[in-house]
Structure 1
Amino acid sequence: MATSLSMDCGDFLEFQDSLQKMRKIDDQITYALNSIIPTESFKKTIDPSTTCKELHQQIKNIHNKRETSIKFCRDVARGEIEQLKKQCATDPDNVVLQNNMRRVQNTLRRLESELDIENVLKIRTCKIYNDKCRSFYKNPNINDL
């Protein structure tokens, strides 16, 4: 389930598509848990604590990668805004600069929204994971997902 995608901040729609692909694990968390947690008849052949621990690590890694990617692109957008502000200060009548400033500010707002979406997804995934795996795998750090 692990996904390795390179994140490009230049094209926001492409960036969003990459995020969607990386969010697949969150969208399919219930299916993943149902397929790895054995029923009573298979508990002797499959160790649910190991599978829950492995899934926990996958989820944690992908959440960290997505959050890092979003924050990186947010920082890139902030840097662009600072550059454009300096350029607009020297040439306040330049319409192209003003349009670029609005475009980058809009991208920054969208990236902030993606961070909010990320937090909602983490909470949802964490709740579903804990409901299914809490009796098999006790995470030493309760806030670690």
Structure 2
Amino acid sequence: MSLAITECGDFSAFQEAVKNMRKIDDLIISTLNTAIPTDSFHPDGESACKDLHKKLEEGNSQRTNVIKNCITVTANRVKELREKRDTNAEDISLSKALRSEQTKLRMLQVELTVEDLVQQRTAKVFHEKCRKYYKPL
């Protein structure tokens, strides 16, 4: 898993990096089925669920921080471009760049909403499978 996405400029690369960071969430059901197969195997469900919960929380926090950081960077860029455009309204390239950054900002905000939905889905599946073994605080 990538520790940081330093470049927020290329939205496609950003989206791909976040997608890769979501692999544990995308595979939550098979991960839980592997960690806690059935009661007949007498797995250490508490330990498995606790470890998985820790990984999920770290991933959630990391992805949310990366997305929010890129939103901040892009919002600052929008503000900067807007100020430049206001002082030089004749420059078409500034208007185009501003529209492009505004679009990217909206897409990043949608990505934050998607992240929230992914986290809710993962939490629901985790709770259904691990509720009798581990109850996070």
**TM class by smaller structure:** over 0.9
Which structure features the higher share of helix residues? 2
1:92 aligns with 2:89: yes
Figure out how many residues of one structure are paired with residues of the other and give that number. 136
Give the aligned partner of residue 134 of structure 1: 131
* C-alpha separation in 2, matches of 1:84 and 1:40: 60
Aligned residue identity for 1:71 = K
Aligned residue identity for 1:100 = A
Following TM superposition, the consecutive aligned residue runs of length 4 or more in structure 1 with deviations greater than 6 angstroms are: none
Give the aligned partner of residue 6 of structure 1: 4
* C-alpha separation in 2, matches of 1:40 and 1:63: 29
TM-score (norm 2): 0.95
1:42-96, CA deviations, whole angstroms, 9 ceiling, x for partnerless residues? 21xx311011000000000001101000000000011001111110111001000
Between stretches 3-12 and 46-55, larger displacement belongs to 3-12
Deviation at 1:4, TM superposition (A): 2.8
TM-score (norm 1): 0.90
Aligned residue identity for 2:57 = K
Aligned residue identity for 2:123 = C
- Contact 2:4 / 2:66 at 8 angstroms: preserved in 1? no
1:59 aligns with 2:56: yes
Give the aligned partner of residue 35 of structure 1: 34
Matching residue within 73, 77, 81 for 1:80 = 77
Aligned residue identity for 1:95 = I
Deviation at 1:26, TM superposition (A): 1.1
**RMSD of aligned residue pairs (Cα, Å):** 1.0
1:109-136, CA deviations, whole angstroms, 9 ceiling, x for partnerless residues? 0000001101111110000000000000
Question: What stretches of structure 2 of length at least 5 have no aligned partner?
Answer: none
- Contact 2:2 / 2:17 at 8 angstroms: preserved in 1? no
Question: What stretches of structure 1 of length at least 5 have no aligned partner?
Answer: 141-145
3-state SS, counterpart of residue 89 of structure 2: coil
Aligned residue identity for 1:107 = K
Deviation at 1:5, TM superposition (A): 4.0
